[in-house]
Amino acid sequence: MNDKNYYTTVEHEASAEFEERRSVFIGYAAPVSSAEEAMEFVKKIKKENSDATHNVYAYHLEGGRVAKYSDDGEPQGTAGMPVLDTIRKSEVDGVCVVVTRYFGGILLGAGGLVRAYAHAAKIALEAANIITYEKYEVFTLRCGYSEYQKYLPVLSAAGAVIDDTVFEADVKVVFAIKHGVAEGLLPKISEISFGKYLPVKDGERFDYR
């Protein structure tokens, strides 16, 4: 999804609108994970606004490797591209924005259209709540009961998120920590057990904290 240790997207679907010289612009934003999901969102908004003059859209995925926009009948470069540019300037990924326009009878000119579509995209993204996910590494640690009690404050100090704890003959702890923290944490865990217990990495994920 992302080569960085974090990515920024929107938390939920939302909309916002404003009026410019009697034309009504409604911006819709939603988190999406694929081009197919983005187009399903576009289809949904178009269906809800089938009587609109234009339903312009843009989506941005995989750090910009997958991106597309449509002017939907507006003069070339005055609608879809400003929406996509707004997404890029906001540094959000995994998002689709649709801007619906109900024409009010007054022409806005090329510059006016660019500003209006960019503003509609901006307020839609803000309404959808821009958030940042950070990369976490997931580990499983098996240890004795006495060591487990000693590990808890160490994991807490490292900011670890405990996903699961299973108490059987020994203790199994599944935890996640921010990317890069393990380098300093693993030696501390090894030191407590004199090298007897070490976490095993299970994978990575992005979490919003």
Closest CA to 44 of 61, 30, 34, 33: 30
- The 10s digit of each residue's pLDDT in 27-43 is 999 999 999 999 999 99
pTM across the whole model = 0.78
* pLDDT confidence of residue 1: 46
Name the CATH superfamily housing domain 6-128.
Impact, N-terminal domain (3.30.230.30)
- The 10s digit of each residue's pLDDT in 70-124 is 999 999 999 999 999 999 999 999 999 999 999 999 999 999 999 999 999 999 9
Q: Percent of the chain having pLDDT more than 90?
A: 86
* pLDDT confidence of residue 3: 59
Q: At what angle do helices 182-192 and 145-157 cross, to 10 degrees?
A: 150
Alpha-carbon separation of residue 14 from 4, 111, 127, 166 (angstroms): 26, 26, 6, 40
User: Which two structure tokens, joined as six digits, stand for 160?
Assistant: 């670890």
What are the sequence ranges of the domains in the chain? Answer: 6-128, 133-207
The yes-or-no verdict on residue 165 having pLDDT over 90 is yes
The helix (run of H) or strand (run of E) holding residue 38 is helix 35-48
CA distance 46 to 51: 9
Can you tell me the mean pLDDT for 155-163?
A: 94
Instruction: Categorize the per-residue pLDDT at 176 as very low, low, confident or very high, splitting at 50, 70 and 90.
Output: very high
Of 3.40.50.360, 3.40.50.10310, 3.30.70.240, 3.40.50.300, the CATH number of 133-207 is 3.30.70.240
Closest CA to 130 of 138, 121, 139: 121
* Mean of pLDDT over the chain: 94
